[in-house]
Amino acid sequence: MTTITELMSAPLANELLALVSDLAEIDATAVDPQAPLAEVGIDSLMTIEIAVHVEQRFGARFTEDDLGRLHCLLDLVTLTQLQLART
């Protein structure tokens, strides 16, 4: 089983962290991977922006149900990896 540390050290996680921190206009080191996205300033509209970016950059597509499961950066990384594994 993959640990949070292993998951968050992957290049994909670093790129998603940069995206989230840029949208929230905060330093990437301030983002706790398990903290709710709302706590770092990511609202539902920004979540859609993230999904669009991920689709354009990686080809991973999120359904509405997927977006409803994005509660923290760790969820985003995990879900993106799952979507990429399916393609």
Residue 1 is predicted with a pLDDT of 58
Q: Classify residue 36: in a domain, yes or no.
A: no
Give the confidence band of 66 by pLDDT, cuts at 50, 70, 90: very high
Q: Classify residue 21: in a domain, yes or no.
A: no
- Indicate the number of domains in the chain: 1
Q: Classify residue 35: in a domain, yes or no.
A: no
Q: Classify residue 87: in a domain, yes or no.
A: yes
Question: Is the Cα dihedral 24, 60, 84, 59 positive or negative?
Answer: negative
Q: Which of 12, 1, 9 is nearest to 76 (CA)?
A: 12
Q: Classify residue 37: in a domain, yes or no.
A: no
Q: Classify residue 51: in a domain, yes or no.
A: yes
Q: Classify residue 17: in a domain, yes or no.
A: no
Give residue 64's domain range: 46-87
For residue range 18-62, what is the model confidence (pLDDT) as tens digits? 999 998 899 999 889 999 999 988 999 999 999 999 999 999 999
